[in-house]
A and B are shown apart, each in its own frame.
Chain A
Amino acid sequence: MVIAERGWAEWAGDRSAKVLLSAMVYMILCGSTGRLLAQADARQTNGQQGTEVASAKAEERALPEAPQPVAMVVSAGAEVDRSAALTSGSSRHLLSEPPPSDGPTLGDLGLTPADIEGNAARQALFDRRTHMLKVHQKLGLITVLPVAAACLSSVGAPADKGNYSNTATRDLHVALGSVAVGMYAATASYAIRAPKVTGEPARGGVKWHKYLIYIHAPGMIMTPILGAMAYNQINSGQKVHGIASAHSGVAVATAASYGAAILAVSWPIHLKP
Chain B
Amino acid sequence: MKKISLLAILLLTLPALRLLNAQSDQIWKLDQSSLTYHMSHPMHEVDATTRASLGKGVCRAGRCDFLIAAAVKTFDSGDSNRDLHMIQVTRGAQFPIVSVRLRLAQASLDSPTLDCDLEVQFAGNTAHYQHVLFQQKIEGAAHHITGVVPATLTDFKIDPPSFLTIPIKNEIPVRVDMIWKPL
Q: Which residues of chain A have a CB within 8 Å of any CB of chain B?
A: 18, 22, 25-26, 29-30, 33, 60-62, 65, 68, 70-78, 80, 82, 84-94, 99-106, 108-111, 115-120, 122-123, 125-127, 129-130, 133, 141, 197-198, 200-207, 209, 265-266, 268-272
| Chain A residues near B104 (CB-CB < 8 A) | 71, 73
Of the residues A26, A90, A108, A270, contact of B56 by C-beta under 8 Å: A108
B93: min CB distance to chain A, Å:
4
In the complex the two chains form, what is the Cα distance from A118 to B121 in whole Å?
14
A73–B107 Cα distance when bound, in Å, is 10
Give the chain A neighbours of B85 by CB distance below 8 A. 130, 133
Interchain CB contact (< 8 A) of A104 among B57, B105, B127, B164: B57
The answer to whether A118 and B95 have CB atoms under 8 Å apart is yes
CB contact under 8 A between A91 and B11, given known A111-B97, A126-B87, A271-B42: no
**Shortest Cβ distance from residue B65 to the other chain A in the assembled complex, whole angstroms:** 3
Per-residue CB proximity of B1-34 to A under 8 Å, as 1/0? 0010001001100110011001001000000000
Give B residues with C-beta under 8 Å from A.
3, 7, 10-11, 14-15, 18-19, 22, 25, 42-45, 54-58, 60-61, 63, 65-67, 69, 71, 77-82, 84-85, 87-89, 91-97, 99, 101-105, 108, 111, 113-115, 117, 119, 121, 124-133, 148, 150, 152, 155-157, 163-164, 171
How far does the Cβ of A22 sit from chain B's closest Cβ, in whole Å? 5
- Chain B min CB distance to A98 (Å): 12
- Closest CB-CB distance, A25 to chain B, in whole Å? 6
Complex: A129 Cα to B58 Cα, angstroms: 41
Question: Are B14 and A30 in contact (CB-based, < 8 A)?
Answer: yes
The 3 closest A-B pairs by CB, nearest first: A103-B65, A204-B79, A206-B81
Please give the distance in Å from A197's CB to the nearest CB on chain B: 6
A202–B91 CA distance with the chains assembled, in angstroms = 21
Given A73-B115, A78-B131, A105-B67: A269 touches B93 (CB 8 Å cut-off): no
Is A119 a contact of B126 with CB atoms below 8 Å? no
B15 proximity list for chain A (CB < 8 A): 29-30, 33
Q: Which of B25, B150, B156, B171 has the most chain A CB atoms inside 10 A of its CB?
A: B150
Contact B128–A22 (Cβ < 8 Å): no
Establish whether residues A202 and B81, one from each chain, have CB atoms under 8 Å apart when the complex forms. Answer: yes
Least CB distance from B39 to A in Å reads 11
Is B19's CB under 8 angstroms from A33's CB?
yes
CA distance A22 to B85 in the complex (A): 69
